[in-house]
């Protein structure tokens, strides 16, 4: 079992070193993530946010706009994650009256 | 959990807690203009209460925030978020702030305003839930109670 | 050499990932597993944040002097938003893990896995 | 803008129920069960309405926040997700109805957090089925995992330890998914599934992309308890309370399998995952190994719940095998088996909960025909589900295996055919062992446990069947197996054929 775990960790390292060499370098400005348009011609979300967030929501902090508006559903889920943890702690530790 | 025996610790934390709370309101409400927002502010609010819980003791700090409020304000905050989303359904889709009813502003302003409400709701939910988690984690077990 | 210069941050993250994975899978103490888990999650958060960086970019907050004509002046805001979520998830999981550990400790009086397995029989 | 708000209501009904429970409980103690059942019932109705809408009007796409897909988050109710959401919501509803008296007996005083967590779990699983965004999927995956760790931690003394192991492995799985998503995100710049499909069909494969996919597959595989990563499952299911197991076992792991199907056949081009690196094939063989392993270990168990848990490992293997075939037949088999197994396992775990609540044990060695005399309906429900698990027509379980075998023959993969046939024999062994005890063995023949089970449970010697609220869900699930089996042609033609992705 222990050997198996060593094997898992070792293959994890090998995979990730192999993969990281293909990633865009640190700070590269035209990484796929930062482009205007994806390879298929659809708009890349992140650039859209940078361009439009201020005019769309009159809020300078782009991160806030993405968090609460563009991807508001994620944030609802996020709030529910915290709440789930809260209720779960009560469920696990709570005392029967 | 007992209170700290040192007067200095108690006094300083009583002094610092309101300051943390003011700062956390700043973080929540200034989240439109600088790094910050509901989660960060809510965590800070929770920290101020947890500081009192740690230094003044569990019973004493109930005056500041009752333990049973935790699991009421948490769902209430999340519910506010949900309801804010749902009232937009009348005009557009869920969470589409530009269709806020009863509010006649230009769409961008409306979004900005709704984002603020949502951030406050998140702050409330996060604060209450984090305190509730801490209270549950630090509650004495039945065995320790009886002994 | 250039490739190393551009990619070494990933290897720093990878090191953290391995430390975290090691802690989770191979440590005998349950609390250390939780610590490993936290390191693992933080490393993933760093990985995403790393992807947001652009050379010459500034914080993603609207600046009148810069305008929004050239998005490359701001670093990418999307990974930051995603990781805000991931951080919250991490906090929630640690909270729940600690709750479980408290119950385990109350029941068995230990967090060492070999001892625990012994006492569970 | 987009009128069918049905789509967003599906998870929201469950979430608002979960939020209302702590608030209402303060106002009126003891209403948690009612609120949970009511919101699950409304939610189930909405999913049915969604299925009707989708099968007549085509896929529903809902833009949350009103932003078009690559910008905002999109929810997609296509034939596949509509069908699965109906399955999920109705099984959850029945288990919740059943849970009332179990919770009162097994977990007194914990009704409020338990039902709230259960609704969060179901809502999050529904969110996973209908979301069209990979990061949104991660958020829901975490809600559902957090809820299931907590639910599985309740039970006997060993439950917290097994739940903690599940938490560690589950977090590794979810983190692998997130890490893999990071690689995919960095090479494509998109998180939306439909957008990713467009991008990936233009992008030539690169190491980060492939490694990202491998990581995602491993992570989801852990959540799904795919063969070498199933270690957390048997303990977690055995030691947890009956309600938690009955809720999580039928639907939890299926949803992870659904995520794999979604990614392999809908986000990637169907040929991609089998061509570049043989990911689907690998999953198929792991599934086959899991089928054998789970079935063999199930035979060795003496506790009913533990036996069912091991058989779950095997049954997940069937779904993985269907994914591995990567053909229309395999796809139909996998989807059909997902639904059938959810109903079968739901029924079997409810039966084990009934036995536990009336006999006080679920030890296979202590069952005998007094069990049948005292609990005839529960025994009948068990028999129907067991026959379906073995794969006897006209029960539903037969048809999914039939499609899987057809698919394997079509691909002339004889290993898979052999595995399915052998495992059917093995499951016959472990289920007939119980059926034989319940129907044929008289109490006196067991010298080791003399008449203890029947005698303790029913001193007056009469029937001692469980209450109607527990019996009805069990029997509804059992008869659903018959209905699913008899209507199987209609289901495959009307519901499953339209969801087969183009190019498979």
Chain A residues with CB under 8 Å of B133 CB are: 85-86, 89
| CA-wise closest residue to D361 among D457, D468, D477 | D457
CA–chain centroid gap for D437, Å, is 28
Determine, for residues D19 and B82 on separate chains, whether the beta-carbon distance falls below 8 Å: yes
Q: Which of D253, D251, D484 is nearest to D346 (CA)?
A: D251
D160 in Cβ contact with D239 (< 8 Å): no
Distance between alpha carbon D92 and the CA centroid of its chain, in Å? 10
- Rounded to a whole number, what is the distance in Å from the CA of A84 to chain C's nearest CA? 8
- Above 60 in pLDDT, residue D291? yes
**Chain D residues within an 8 Å CB radius of C108:** 161
Q: Which two tokens stand for residue A4?
A: 């198996």
D168 to C17: CB separation less than 8 angstroms, yes or no: no
Chosen for mutation from B75, B92, B108 (greatest number of chain D CBs closer than 10 Å) is B75
Q: CA of B5, closest CA in chain D: separation in Å?
A: 35
What residue of B is the nearest CA neighbor of C80? B35
What is the percentage of chain D residues whose pLDDT exceeds 70?
94
- Return d(Cα A55, Cα D342) in angstroms, integer: 48
Stated length of chain C: 121
Helix axes D6-27, A72-93, angle to 10 degrees: 40
Does residue B59 carry a pLDDT above 80?
yes
Which residue carries 């799985």 as its tokens? D173
Whole-model pTM: value is: 0.94
- Give the best residue of A22, A24, A57, A85 to mutate against chain C (max C CB count within 10 A): A85
- Domains located in chain C, CATH noted: 2-120 (1.10.287.3510)
Cβ of D16 within 8 Å of Cβ of B82? The answer is yes
B95 contacts on D by Cβ (under 8 Å): 64-66
Residue C28: its H or E element: none
B77 prior amide bond cis, ω within 30: no
Quick check: B85 and A93 CB within 8 A? no
pLDDT, chain D, mean = 88
Q: What is the mean pLDDT of residues A25-47?
A: 85
**Confidence band of C37 (pLDDT split at 50, 70, 90):** very high
Is the Cβ pair B98, D64 closer than 8 Å? no
- Tokens 């169907």: give the residue: D270
Joined tokens for residue D473:
């869900």
DSSP D418-483: HHHHHHHHHHHHHHHHHHHHHHH--GGG-SSSTTHHHHHH-TTSS--PPPHHHHHHHHHHHHHHHH
Residue D455: what pLDDT? 42
Q: Let me know: does D403 contact D329? Beta carbons within 8 Å.
A: yes
pLDDT tens profile D30-39: 889 999 999 9
pLDDT digits (tens, 9 = 90+) for D170-226: 999 999 999 999 999 999 989 999 999 988 888 888 888 889 999 999 999 999 998
- Are the beta carbons of A88 and D150 separated by less than 8 Å? yes
pLDDT tens digits, one per residue of D366-375: 888 787 888 8
CB contact under 8 A, C68 and A50: yes
Position B147 pLDDT exceeds 60:
no
In this complex, do D167 and C96 lie within 8 Å of one another by their Cβ atoms?
Answer: yes
List all residues 6 or more positions away from D321 whose beta carbon is below 8 Å from its beta carbon.
D284, D287, D288, D291, D330, D333, D334, D404, D408, D416, D419, D420
Q: What SS3 state is found at D74?
A: strand
Give whichever of A22-26, A33-37, B133-137 has the largest mean pLDDT.
Answer: B133-137
- Domain ranges (residues) in chain B: 7-140
Is A63 in CB contact (< 8 Å) with chain B? yes
**Closest CA–CA distance from residue A62 to any residue of chain D (Å):** 13
- Domain spans in chain A, listed from the N-terminal domain onward: 28-93
Q: Which of A47-51, C69-73, D414-418, D451-455 has the lowest mean pLDDT?
A: D451-455
Greater model confidence, B124 or B57 = B124
Tokens (6 digits) for D498: 């339209």
Interface of C with D in 42-71 (CB under 8 A): 44, 47-48, 51
CA nearest D199 in A: which residue? Answer: A40
C59, B143: Cβ pair inside 8 Å?
A: no
Report yes or no: C43 and C50 within 8 Å, Cβ to Cβ. Answer: no
Segment C73-100 mean pLDDT: 93
Region for D200 from its dihedrals, namely left if φ exceeds 0, alpha if ψ lies in -120 to 50, beta otherwise: alpha
**Least confident interval from A34-48, D84-98, D289-303, D394-408:** A34-48
């Amino acid at each position: 079992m222990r050997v198996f775990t060593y094997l898992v960790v070792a293959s994890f390292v090998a995979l990730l070193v192999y993969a990281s060499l293909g990633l865009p370098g640190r700070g590269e400005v035209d990484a796929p993530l930062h482009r205007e348009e994806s390879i298929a011609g659809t708009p890349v979300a992140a650039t859209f946010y940078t361009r439009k967030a201020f005019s769309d929501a009159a809020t300078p902090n782009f991160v806030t706009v993405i968090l609460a508006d563009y991807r508001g559903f994620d944030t609802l889920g996020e709030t529910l994650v915290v709440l789930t943890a809260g209720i779960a702690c009560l469920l696990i530790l709570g005392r029967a009256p | 959990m007992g209170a700290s025996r040192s007067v200095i610790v108690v006094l300083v934390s009583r002094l610092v807690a309101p300051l943390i709370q003011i700062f956390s309101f700043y973080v929540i409400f200034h989240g439109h203009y600088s790094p910050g927002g509901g989660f960060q502010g809510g965590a800070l609010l929770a920290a101020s209460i947890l500081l009192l819980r740690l230094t003044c003791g569990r019973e004493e700090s109930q005056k500041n925030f009752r333990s049973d409020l935790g699991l009421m304000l948490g769902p209430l905050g999340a519910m506010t978020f949900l309801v804010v989303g749902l009232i937009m359904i009348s005009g557009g889709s869920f969470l589409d702030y530009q269709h806020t009813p009863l509010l006649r502003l230009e769409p961008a302003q409306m979004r900005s305003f709704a984002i603020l409400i949502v951030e406050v709701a998140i702050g409330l939910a996060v604060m209450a839930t984090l305190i509730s988690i801490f209270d549950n984690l630090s509650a004495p077990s039945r065995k320790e109670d009886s002994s | 050499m250039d490739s190393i210069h551009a990619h070494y941050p990933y290897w720093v993250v990878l090191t953290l990932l391995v430390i975290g994975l090691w802690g989770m899978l191979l440590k005998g103490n349950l609390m250390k597993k939780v610590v490993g888990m936290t390191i693992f999650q933080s490393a993933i958060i760093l990985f995403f944040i790393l992807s947001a960086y652009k050379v010459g970019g500034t914080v993603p907050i609207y600046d009148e002097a810069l305008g929004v004509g050239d998005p490359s002046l701001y670093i990418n805001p999307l990974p930051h938003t995603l990781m805000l979520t991931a951080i919250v998830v991490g906090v929630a999981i640690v909270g729940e893990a600690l709750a479980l550990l408290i119950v385990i400790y109350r029941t068995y009086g230990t967090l060492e896995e070999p001892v625990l397995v012994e006492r569970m029989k | 803008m987009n009128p069918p708000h049905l789509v967003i209501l599906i998870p929201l009904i469950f979430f608002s129920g979960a939020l209302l429970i702590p608030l209402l409980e303060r106002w009126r103690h003891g209403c948690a069960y009612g609120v949970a059942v009511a919101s699950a019932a409304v939610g189930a109705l909405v999913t049915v309405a969604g299925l009707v809408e989708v099968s007549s009007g085509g896929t529903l796409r809902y833009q949350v926040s009103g932003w078009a897909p690559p910008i905002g988050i999109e929810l997609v109710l296509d034939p596949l997700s509509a069908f699965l959401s109906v399955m999920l919501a109705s099984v959850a509803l029945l288990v919740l109805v059943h849970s009332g008296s179990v919770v009162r007996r097994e977990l007194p005083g914990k009704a409020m957090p338990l039902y709230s967590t259960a609704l969060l779990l179901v809502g999050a699983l529904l969110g996973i089925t209908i979301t069209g965004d990979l990061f949104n999927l991660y958020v829901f995956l975490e809600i559902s995992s957090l809820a299931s760790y907590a639910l599985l931690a309740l039970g006997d003394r060993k439950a917290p330890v097994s739940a903690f192991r599940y938490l560690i492995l589950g977090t590794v799985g979810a983190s692998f998914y997130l890490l893999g998503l990071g690689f995919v995100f960095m090479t494509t710049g998109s998180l939306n599934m439909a957008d990713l499909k467009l991008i990936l069909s233009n992008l030539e494969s690169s190491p980060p992309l492939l490694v990202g996919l491998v990581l995602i597959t491993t992570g989801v595989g852990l959540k799904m308890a795919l063969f070498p990563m199933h270690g957390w499952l048997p303990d977690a299911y055995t030691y947890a309370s009956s309600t938690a197991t009955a809720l999580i076992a039928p639907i939890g792991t299926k949803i992870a399998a659904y995520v794999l199907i979604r990614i392999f056949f809908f986000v990637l081009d169907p040929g991609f995952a089998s061509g570049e690196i043989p990911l689907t094939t690998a999953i198929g063989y792991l599934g086959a190994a899991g089928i054998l392993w789970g079935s063999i270990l199930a035979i060795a168990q003496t506790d009913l719940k533990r036996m069912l848990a091991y058989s779950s490992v095997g049954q997940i293997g069937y779904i993985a095998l269907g994914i591995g075939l990567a053909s229309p037949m395999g796809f139909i088999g996998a989807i059909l088996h997902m639904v059938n197994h959810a109903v079968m396992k739901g029924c079997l775990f409810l039966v084990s909960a009934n036995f536990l609540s009336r006999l006080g044990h679920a030890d296979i060695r202590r069952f005998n025909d007094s069990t049948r005399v005292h609990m005839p309906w529960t025994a009948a429900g068990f028999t129907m589900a067991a026959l379906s698990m073995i794969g006897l027509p006209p029960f539903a379980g037969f048809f999914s295996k039939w499609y899987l075998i057809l698919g394997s023959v079509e691909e002339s993969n004889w290993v898979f055919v052999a595995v399915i046939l052998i495992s059917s024999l093995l499951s016959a062994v472990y289920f007939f062992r119980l059926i034989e005890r319940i129907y044929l063995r008289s109490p006196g023949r067991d010298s080791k446990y003399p008449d203890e089970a029947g005698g303790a449970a029913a001193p007056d010697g009469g029937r001692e069947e469980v209450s109607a609220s527990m019996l009805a869900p069990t029997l509804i699930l059992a008869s659903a197996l018959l209905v699913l089996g008899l209507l199987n042609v209609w289901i495959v033609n009307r519901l499953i054929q339209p969801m087969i992705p183009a190019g498979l």
